[in-house]
Amino acid sequence: MKTRTLGGLQVPAIGFGAMVLSPGVYGEVDDARAEAAIKAALDAGGTHVDTSDAYGPDGHNERLVGRAIKGRRDEVVVATKFGLAIPEGEPSRSYPVGYAFGELRVNAEPRLVRRYAERSLRNLDTDVIDLYYAHYPDPGVPIEETAGALAELVRDGLVRHIGLSNVTAAQLRAAHAVHPVTAVQNEWSMWRPVDADLLAAARELGVGIVAWSPLGNGFLTGTVQALGEGDFRHNAPRFSAENLAGNNDRYAPIRALATRLGITPAQLALAWLLHQDEHVVAIPGSRTPAHIEENLAAADLTLHPDTLARLGEALARFEVSGGTLL
């Protein structure tokens, strides 16, 4: 697997996003299937595993990751996040999102950051987190203060690298002035452009970009025709029955391009992303070993400049119904 650098951290160009492995995200999954999926990712070279204390109840996803990497800890870059799984009785602030439920609740106060990290270390059954992100900026806390608390964790050896997720360019710059930020993790895929100012700031500061939902929550694989029960995407306007059908129709030229290249739409989506910047990496999620291997193989694809140009034109014409989430 080709590697890339995020700040000073070397990771595979394509890693593994574990959120899909907790119940109620993309429908049914049990722990045995989930652990097998993580192991399949590691075996295929996807050794950057991304989780969060907020995926699944009571650290469910982190505990899964901890079990799956047991005995292989040294092979893995373990990334997790804090700020949404708020301890009982602690206050929180509203962070508006475009999902049907309207908001997330965040607490990234510095006084809680060590407590969050210690809980994640227990869940992950490890003594250090390789990359620790603030999951969302807290509207009630200057990001410099959250970054200052993260810097103390690095100083004390609980965390190797710090990251920020879902931030603006200004927030990245402010935090980076307190302690070098290794990576920003924001949504970026063929149907969700990354913010141009954030990309410019990351390039200027030498901060890597971890693209979340690089397959557009599965849409870009071209295989999502309808959603089952217990699927989180029912909250996302782009996946309403009407929007999904129209979006699939308008996505057809890009699926056809993948077919002409002899690759899958998922592989085209991931390869396209890796061609956008040399310091971007993708963390697709999947419960299915065959999908995981297919996705990780996209790290080795080189797209011809003519293909990238044709794709750029097709994407410019691809009108997505269902608004934005952030």
Ligand X SMILES: NC(=O)c1ccc[n+]([C@@H]2O[C@H](COP(=O)([O-])OP(=O)(O)OC[C@H]3O[C@@H](n4cnc5c(N)ncnc54)[C@H](OP(=O)(O)O)[C@@H]3O)[C@@H](O)[C@H]2O)c1
Q: Residue type at 128?
A: V
Angle at 269 between CA 78 and CA 235, to 5 degrees: 75
When asked if residue 283 is in the footprint of ligand X (CB under 6 A), the reply is yes
When asked if residue 272 is in the footprint of ligand X (CB under 6 A), the reply is no
Give the binding range for ligand X (CB under 6 A) out of 149-157, 173-181, 247-255, 287-295: 287-295
What dihedral do alpha carbons 53, 232, 196, 304 form, nearest 10°? 110
From residue 17 to residue 56, the character string flagging contacts with ligand X as x (rule: CB under 6 A) and all else as - is: xxxx-----x-----------------------x------
Report the residue closest to ligand X, judged by CB. Answer: 17
C-alpha separations of 9 from 35, 128, 155, 227 in Å: 25, 14, 17, 37
Q: Which of 123, 146, 217, 247 binds ligand X (CB under 6 A)?
A: 217
Provide DSSP, 45-105. Answer: T--EEE--TTSSGGGHHHHHHHHHTTT-GGG-EEEEEESSS--TT---EEEE-SSTT-EEE
CA–CA separation, 235 vs 18, rounded Å? 20
- Could you say which of 55, 116, 132, 133 is catalytic? 55
Number of residues binding to ligand X, judged by CB under 6 A: 29
Q: Which of 89, 102, 151, 159 is nearest to 127 (CA)?
A: 159
Give the binding range for ligand X (CB under 6 A) out of 68-76, 105-113, 146-154, 291-299: 291-299
Give the binding range for ligand X (CB under 6 A) out of 114-122, 215-223, 236-244, 301-309: 215-223
Q: Classify the C-alpha dihedral 59-55-101-115 as positive or negative.
A: positive
CA–CA separation, 252 vs 140, rounded Å? 43
Report the residue number, 12 or 214, with the smaller CB distance to ligand X.
214
When asked if residue 77 is in the footprint of ligand X (CB under 6 A), the reply is no
Q: Which of 285, 296, 299, 322 binds ligand X (CB under 6 A)?
A: 285
Give the binding range for ligand X (CB under 6 A) out of 137-145, 239-247, 286-294, 313-321: 286-294
Tokens of 318: 């691809």
CA–CA separation, 273 vs 86, rounded Å? 33
From residue 115 to residue 144, the character string flagging contacts with ligand X as x (rule: CB under 6 A) and all else as - is: --------------------x---------
Q: Is 55 a catalytic residue?
A: yes
Q: Which of 45, 66, 214, 322 binds ligand X (CB under 6 A)?
A: 214
- The binding site for ligand X (CB under 6 A) comprises 17-20, 26, 50, 135, 165-166, 185, 212-218, 221, 223, 266, 283-288, 291, 294-295
Name the residues annotated as catalytic. Answer: 55
